Amino acid sequence: MPEDIIIRSKYHDKLNPFIGKQIIKVLTGQRRVGKSYILKQTMLQISRKDPNANIVYINKENLAFDSIKTAGDLNDYVLLNTKEGVTNYIFIDEIQEIEQFEKALRSLLLNPAYDLYCTGSNANMLSGELSTFLSGRYIEISVYSLSYSEFLLFHQLENSSQSVMLFLRFGGLPYLKHLQLDDEIVYDYLKGVYSTIIYRDIIMRHEVRNSAFMENLVLFLADNIGQLFSAKKISDYLKSQKTNIATSQIISYLYHLNNAFLIHKVGRYEISGKKIFEIGEKIYFEDIGLRNAVIDYKLSDIGKIMENAVYNHLLFNDYEVKVGQVGQFEIDFVGKRKGEIIYVQVCYLLHERATIDREFGNLERINDNYPKMVVSMDEFTGNTRKGIQHINLRDFLSSEI
């Protein structure tokens, strides 16, 4: 491990209470968001604390471990590398590449000599198989691309308006710290990451036949961040463009994109009636930089990108996020965490009276005392209207809310 490795303390704070406990620790998230480094940092932490620890590391992206293809192979490899009389810490990177991995984990978990950790880049395979075979015997920690504060730390930048724009332009994949923040250099790297996700995690894994449509669907989603849509609406739009794709196929493709953590599907929530709408969702990208690499970064899209950044920041701070609805009026985000609620509207600039009345007015229609705020790029913020706070995007992304 490099000596200058940056510790992402948020994830270690979640992981540390379970080290040495007989429960499987699962890190999930999109490829290249830093799950492997969190594993390696945990390995280093354990080795320093317990010099006698036997650490077994399996990385399924490394050809050296290509022979581990099934649960039986995994079990045999661990048994072969087990040491008696000490704790054996087993770390498995990209475990979804191993067929029926959950059976091996269930078997290994029976032996208190093993402490198990793994990462995965497929939400359905991990949550589905683990919840079926290992209910109550694993914890899942979601790992996201860098928050704005982490972005500043990784790139050694001051918290400034210029830094926010760099974050909105290039996103938060950790490896960017090794690259010059230049459009051509960064987007070449990001396009490579995007291709790996699309072709390896989706097209090859799920045997998607219409790969051209899959990529066009991602372009459509990237251009329509923050817009309410349904699979039928997408199908109808495509028909108008002389492309006939069944609604069921679109639903399947969206499912794959969501499970690969490339996108997040966000449902709607009726605030007064406290019910979830079955139709109509919004799409946001796990990493803003990947979205910009797919469709090109344009200043005219700044409102969409800001909204995506606010959504990601709420996720990073452990909120369960929905799009809110008050009658016919929309609230951009309703965040719930440990019984508390936060309401957030996002707007590029509040320069016109009509815009101010719309953004604040929608929040004023909510009849409760939970925090409400409007986030914009205006530098002059801090004022309130009927208790609703106006906050600059940079301040919002720098906060722990």
Average pLDDT estimate for 178-205: 96
In this predicted structure, the answer to whether residue 90 has a pLDDT above a threshold of 70 is: yes
Instruction: Give yes or no: residues 159 and 174 share one domain.
Output: yes
Instruction: Give yes or no: residues 165 and 134 share one domain.
Output: no
The pLDDT value recorded for residue 199 is: 94
Collapsed DSSP state (helix, strand, coil) of residue 40: helix
In this predicted structure, the answer to whether residue 157 has a pLDDT above a threshold of 70 is: yes
Instruction: Determine the Cα–Cα distance for residues 261 and 245; give it in Å rounded to an integer.
Output: 23
In this predicted structure, the answer to whether residue 14 has a pLDDT above a threshold of 90 is: yes
Q: What is the DSSP string of 90-148?
A: EEEESGGGSBTHHHHHHHHHTSTTEEEEEEES-HHHHHHHHHHHSTTSEEEEE--SPPH
Residue 48 token pair = 């320093």
Instruction: Give yes or no: residues 216 and 286 share one domain.
Output: yes
In this predicted structure, the answer to whether residue 138 has a pLDDT above a threshold of 70 is: yes
Q: pLDDT tens, 245-301?
A: 888 899 999 999 999 999 999 999 999 877 777 678 999 999 999 999 999 899 999
Q: Domain range for residue 54?
A: 9-142
Output the CA–CA distances (angstroms, integers) from residue 56 to 46, 81, 118, 361, 380, in the order listed: 12, 7, 11, 57, 54
Instruction: Give yes or no: residues 52 and 133 share one domain.
Output: yes
The pLDDT value recorded for residue 19 is: 97
390 DSSP β-pair partners: 374
| CATH number reported for the structural domain that contains residue 65 in this entry | 3.40.50.300
The pLDDT value recorded for residue 381 is: 66
Strands 340-346 and 372-376 come out as parallel
Instruction: Give yes or no: residues 226 and 77 share one domain.
Output: no
The pLDDT value recorded for residue 271 is: 92
Instruction: Give yes or no: residues 215 and 138 share one domain.
Output: no
The pLDDT value recorded for residue 180 is: 97
CB atoms < 10 A from the CB of 77, how many?
18
Average pLDDT of the chain is 93
The pLDDT value recorded for residue 331 is: 97
Total structural domains within the chain: 2
Instruction: Give yes or no: residues 235 and 328 share one domain.
Output: yes
Instruction: Give yes or no: residues 134 and 199 share one domain.
Output: no
Instruction: Give yes or no: residues 153 and 133 share one domain.
Output: no
Instruction: Give yes or no: residues 129 and 155 share one domain.
Output: no
Residue ending a domain, among 101, 122, 142, is: 142
In this predicted structure, the answer to whether residue 2 has a pLDDT above a threshold of 70 is: no
